A = this chain, B = another copy of it.
Amino acid sequence: MKETILRSGIDRRTLLTTLALLPALSAPPLSVSALAQTASSGPLPSWNNGSAKQAILDFVRDTTDRASPKFVPPEERIATFDQDGTLWVEQPIYSQMVYCLDRVPVLVAQEPALKDVEPFKTVLSGNREAIAGLSMRDLEKIVLATLAGITTDEFEAEGKKWLSSAKDPRWKRPYTELVYQPMLEVMTYLRANGFKTYIVTGFGQDFVRLYSQQVYGIPPEQVVGSALAVKYDYDKDGKPVLISEPRLMLYDSAAGKPEGIHLMIGRRPNASFGNSTGDQQMLEYTGAGEGARLSMLVLHDDGIREYAYGPAQGLPYTKIGSFTPALYAEARKKNWTIISMKNDWKNIFSFQ
């Protein structure tokens, strides 16, 4: 029942009253960051000291200190995180894309005529080079075909099954373990300081919602992402179902990120984290608000511990998760903080 008590309006007050009677807790006033630091060696143990770590600490200090002119009331504290490339590995290919590719044989079993139709034919061929060469338009076709036409319950069952068995070929681990430990620490630290943390992903929100609580401590309702339209209907037994349609209702990338944030959250974030051109508008929108704002970009400059790609800063170009020189210049101009994976992060994964 204790969780229940802490979630309660009425009982929160009761608790606060009780706490106020305890000298050890009430005087001197408790500082959350002090508490967090006591609980471990500091709030961001996987971060090296430097401007990126300091930017996070400064932002939290400014927004949570009631004496600060940049103080933000707890109920208004919002932080948004891109997922792929910001919270977890996106190379050599987005994990939800792997899921969709893995579903092509299931789809073809249901609709055999597709086996001779592109791009499904190429996927079935198993030719990795040809698959890697598929255009964005082909990939979109695959995404729509493999995700649409099933009930949300079926999708949940299928997706969870895949997540529990599929493994990344490099690390031989489930995709849900390829999470950046320093970013988990940022999320925990922000939540410990009253921020509501959201994922704002260009990929499918229904997919991320399957594991967001377990992996990030973020409940499904705090995941914003691209979404197919769903249609309310009844199954053969008259039971209500929601069926996904082959129509993108929200494409939550680039300008779609602030649009999706407005639709689903309804207010401007105080802090945003991204890693590619698809996150630029979210960071702009965040930064255009008043008071303390934190806009951060992860730069993948560690080819040994993870992957090195840009093409900013002379890093190799990849189709996925581009961090262009133009984005780099924009970040410098707008005082966004760039996180160097190589220099700012002591550890990248919890398993290393």
Contact = CB atoms under 8 A, between A and B. Distances in A.
Interface in A80-96: none
A13 to B, nearest CB: 8
Given A10-B188, A288-B240, A31 B230 contact: no
Interface string A292-325: 0000000000000000000000000000000000
Contacts of A10: 35-36, 39, 188, 192
B32 A11 contact: yes
A35 B14 contact: yes
A interface, how many residues as a size bin?
A: 35 or more
A263 B192 contact: no
A326 interface: no
Contacts of A32: 1, 4-5, 8, 11
A258 B242 CA distance: 8
A330 to B, nearest CB: 12
Interface string A22-34: 1001000111100
Nearest to A281: B232
A348 to B, nearest CB: 22
Contacts of A22: 18
A239 interface: yes
Contact of A36 (B11, B30, B206): B11
Nearest to A283: B240
Given A196-B221, A266-B205, A31 B1 contact: yes
A26 to B, nearest CB: 9
26 contacts: A1-B31, A1-B32, A3-B194, A4-B64, A4-B194, A5-B30, A7-B191, A7-B194, A8-B194, A9-B192, A9-B217, A14-B39, A18-B25, A152-B262, A196-B221, A205-B266, A221-B265, A223-B266, A229-B259, A230-B262, A232-B256, A232-B258, A240-B258, A240-B281, A242-B262, A263-B264
